[in-house]
Structures are given as structure tokens and as C-alpha cells.
Homo-oligomer: A and B are copies of this chain.
């Protein structure tokens, strides 16, 4: 779809951080929406209030949390390649089908099948200590007896280059700064490869988070062709700092790293599609989405159970209120997002000739905390329309809009090619506390926030799917 996959692999969620400095007021100044269109949008206020009331204080109150809870309690985490993921997809297909949604089906995708196995990192010098680690997705394992080697701590790739002469035969530990996920995640993606290039035997990164209670965080890494594949794992902030201090104190550091990680043959998974068909233009589609796979730790309740269940909730809430829009509202649960938008890429290929009918694409993959509004990728007129639409969310204080060159994670495949779209914008300051860790459980979710997010998701999807005009597809001009 015009965006190089490796580039996308690197970016995943991160691009949501790179927002343009286009203030709302500046956009508003540039807005030349017709009085008729503004009035038309405003006329949805009673419908949106009905949606909001049902979600936050009525028949749908608490339902999103309750269903998410039942789902994660039943299946736990759901890594690509696992039977657990397929069971979870079957469950959701059955659920959508039983509730009478339109066009409910799975669409097959070949996905990676990486298994962690058991893993450990024991500090053996200068003193004995067990470090908490999580191997990184796609990492190879160690030999069964493990890798016993000296440790070299570096602060950056530049620092690694300056110490390249010392790296041979060592376990390189990246104690990189976490100024942002975007700036740090290259160490997770490429750390093992860069370490291997200078002769290291394994690579450990400091986990991608700004706060830890001895919490390691996994995530995707990749290998470069023709470079030796060495094991890659994440250690905690605490241990990265410890190793840095020990090195700074001049101590010799030795570690025994054992990882059973294996890359098995690809397996078949499915993207899951369900719809409320449009009454007038069923071929035209507004999409609400999240990804149903997770990492193999915690419960995948935040990443991305929340995104999946507000997308389910948006459809279920609209249906419960008898709201059918002129255009189709489609929910998609992407599969294997965590391995680089694998499901979404397949969907893009399989539906390449339907792109013109993708009116607006929404994805929630940055947490379902207290909602602020939307982060969007659209042109000026589109931004103006969204501003008007979001005014309808005033009663839940989620009227914000901010333009971004890249939104969502899976939907970035389309938005980067000019399809308008948006990701959910929430008070996500603690997102990385939980992200890709065993702490990603239902505790990261709140019933009230989920209700508000379901209301927002349903409202925006309904209004954009029902407007008299198609959402304008313009070049992003922010």
C-alpha cells in the first residue's frame, strides 16, 4: 500500500506521538463548512445523546467492561499462532452471529508462530541475582545450556560503535533513554542485529516504559538478512540501571542467559468482520477496529482488548438502539497486529479494489483510558467536519481533535495512502506502564472509561456513516 512494511514494522503504535502543531483554533479559522453541513451535523445531537446516555447511564452501562472481563478471563492472552487466539476469534464470531449482526465472518491470514518457552537471566558476577526478562518476539533461543558471557552496557547505537572493540563474545545491554517510545523502540527492533554486527552473542534492551515495578516488557524485534541471529530480550529499568552502575563501578559483569524461544512455521489466523449494513449505501463503509491478538503475557486487556471491545460495543450499542446508518458500520478485529500488522496487510491485499469505499477508518490501539477525543488523519475539510462531530461529545468531555500524519496502527496502512481515519485519543500517560507486560490485565481498564469510549466510538461511527455526504478524501495538508 505504498508504505514499506519494514518502516511500518518499526513504527507500529509509535507514530501516534508525532502529531502536527496544528492547533484546533488554526483549523477552525480555516474552516469553511457550509451552514447546512454544520446544521446537519448538529442535528445528530439528540441521537448522540441517546447513544451516550445508554452507554454511561442506561441499558448499556457497564456492558463493555463486563464483556471484556468475561473475554480476558476466559482466554487470557492471545498471541498470533496460538490456539488461544483462534478460540477467542471463534468466540467473538459466535457472539456476533448470535446477536444477529450482518456479514459476520473470519478472513484467513497466515501469521507468524513464535513461542517463548521458558527463559531466565541470572547475574553470576559480581554477585548472584535473578533478573526478570521477557524475550522479544521473533527472537531465536539460546543453546539449551544457555549463554554464559560477560556483559557490555551501552547507552545507544553510537555508544555501541564506540565500544565495538569490546563487544565480541559479550551480551550487549542497551540502557537506552526512554524520551519517547518512538525514539527508544529502535533498540527493541534492531538491538540484536546491531549487537550481532559487532560480534555480540546476545542482546538485552531496557524495557520500553517510563515506570516499572520490576516489570519487563516484550515486543517485536526483527533480524536483518545476512547478520547472525542472536537472542534478544528485555530486562527491567531497574536491572538496566543496576548493570550500568556495576559497569561504571568498574566491575566485571557476567550473565547466564537461557531462552527456549522458537520460530515455528506460520499458522492460519483470521481477521474478524461484523457489520451493521448501511440502509442506503451498504458498499460504503465506516470502520471501527482494534486487534484481537496480544502478546503472550498478561491478559492483553489493554493491548488491545479494550480497543476490540469498544469496537464490539459500538456495534452492539447501535444495534440495541435500533440505529442503522445510511452507510455500513463495520467492525474489524485485526489479527497478528503485534507481528507487524500482518492481518491488516492481508486485508489490504484481499480488499484492494474496495479502497474507494472506505469512507472513514477508526482504530483504538493506544489504550481505552479516559477519552479526550480523536487523533485524526484527514485534510482540512475533514478536520473541520470532525470538529463539528466531536462537539456532539461535549457531555462526556471528549470533544478534542488533533491532526496527526499517522494514526492508529493497522489502519496506518490506509491512512498513509490518503484514506481518512482516526485513532482514539485518551489520557494515556500510563499506557507504557502496562504495554506488552504481565501487568496488561483488566486492572488497566475502567468500566466508566470503557462506557465513555464505547459511546464516543459508536457516535462518531454512526454520524460519519449517516451524513448526507461522504467524508471528504483529501491530501493531508497539515
Additional A-B contacts beyond A76-B128, A238-B441, A242-B299 (4; CB < 8 A): A213-B438, A213-B439, A214-B439, A241-B442
> Which residues A44-75 have CB closer than 8 A to chain B?
69-70, 73-75
Query: Is A129 an interface residue, CB under 8 A from the partner?
Result: yes
> Which residues A206-251 have CB closer than 8 A to chain B?
212-215, 237-238, 241-242, 245-246, 249
- The answer to whether A75 touches B238 (Cβ under 8 A) is no
Query: Is A156 an interface residue, CB under 8 A from the partner?
Result: no
A213, closest chain B residue (CB): B439
Query: 24 A-B pairs, CB-CB below 8 angstroms?
Result: A69-B245, A70-B249, A73-B242, A73-B245, A74-B127, A75-B127, A76-B128, A76-B129, A132-B438, A212-B213, A212-B439, A212-B443, A213-B213, A213-B215, A213-B433, A213-B434, A213-B438, A213-B439, A214-B215, A214-B298, A214-B438, A214-B441, A237-B443, A238-B443
A73-B249 in contact given A242-B442, A443-B237 (Cβ < 8 Å): yes
What is the bound-complex CA distance between A213 and B441, given in angstroms?
9
What is the bound-complex CA distance between A242 and B72, given in angstroms?
10
A129, closest chain B residue (CB): B76
Query: Is A346 an interface residue, CB under 8 A from the partner?
Result: no
Q: Which one of B69, B74, B241 lies within 8 Å of A443 (CB-CB)?
A: B241
Query: Is A437 an interface residue, CB under 8 A from the partner?
Result: yes
A69, A70, A127, A213 interface centre (most CB from chain B within 10 Å): A213
A214 / chain B contacts, CB cutoff of 8 Å: 213, 215, 298, 437-439, 441
A209, closest chain B residue (CB): B213
Interface string of A438-472 (1 = CB under 8 A from B): 11011100000000000000000000000000000
A76, A214, A238, A249 interface centre (most CB from chain B within 10 Å): A214
Tell me the A residues contacting B by CB distance below 8 Å: 69-70, 73-76, 126-129, 132, 212-215, 237-238, 241-242, 245-246, 249, 298-299, 433-434, 437-439, 441-443
A212 / chain B contacts, CB cutoff of 8 Å: 213, 439, 443
Q: How many copies of the polypeptide does the oligomer hold?
A: 2
A215 / chain B contacts, CB cutoff of 8 Å: 213-215
What is the bound-complex CA distance between A127 and B437, given in angstroms?
19
A443 / chain B contacts, CB cutoff of 8 Å: 212, 237-238, 241
A298 / chain B contacts, CB cutoff of 8 Å: 214
A74 / chain B contacts, CB cutoff of 8 Å: 126-127
A128 / chain B contacts, CB cutoff of 8 Å: 76
Q: Which one of B126, B433, B441 lies within 8 Å of A242 (CB-CB)?
A: B441
A126 / chain B contacts, CB cutoff of 8 Å: 74
What is the bound-complex CA distance between A276 and B170, given in angstroms?
48
Distance in angstroms from A187 CB to nearest chain B CB is 19
Distance in angstroms from A126 CB to nearest chain B CB is 8
- The answer to whether A238 touches B442 (Cβ under 8 A) is yes
A298, closest chain B residue (CB): B214
Distance in angstroms from A258 CB to nearest chain B CB is 15
A74, A249, A441 interface centre (most CB from chain B within 10 Å): A441
What is the bound-complex CA distance between A288 and B76, given in angstroms?
49
A237 / chain B contacts, CB cutoff of 8 Å: 443
Distance in angstroms from A116 CB to nearest chain B CB is 11
Distance in angstroms from A66 CB to nearest chain B CB is 10
What is the bound-complex CA distance between A443 and B299, given in angstroms?
26
Distance in angstroms from A9 CB to nearest chain B CB is 27
What is the bound-complex CA distance between A35 and B213, given in angstroms?
50
What is the bound-complex CA distance between A214 and B246, given in angstroms?
27
What is the bound-complex CA distance between A69 and B248, given in angstroms?
12
- The answer to whether B129 touches A437 (Cβ under 8 A) is no
A75, A237, A242, A249 interface centre (most CB from chain B within 10 Å): A242
What is the bound-complex CA distance between A215 and B441, given in angstroms?
12
A213 / chain B contacts, CB cutoff of 8 Å: 212-215, 433-434, 437-439
A299 / chain B contacts, CB cutoff of 8 Å: 242
Distance in angstroms from A79 CB to nearest chain B CB is 13
A434 / chain B contacts, CB cutoff of 8 Å: 213
Q: Which one of B73, B238, B437, B438 lies within 8 Å of A246 (CB-CB)?
A: B73
A76 / chain B contacts, CB cutoff of 8 Å: 127-129
The 3 closest A-B pairs by CB, nearest first: A213-B439, A214-B438, A213-B213
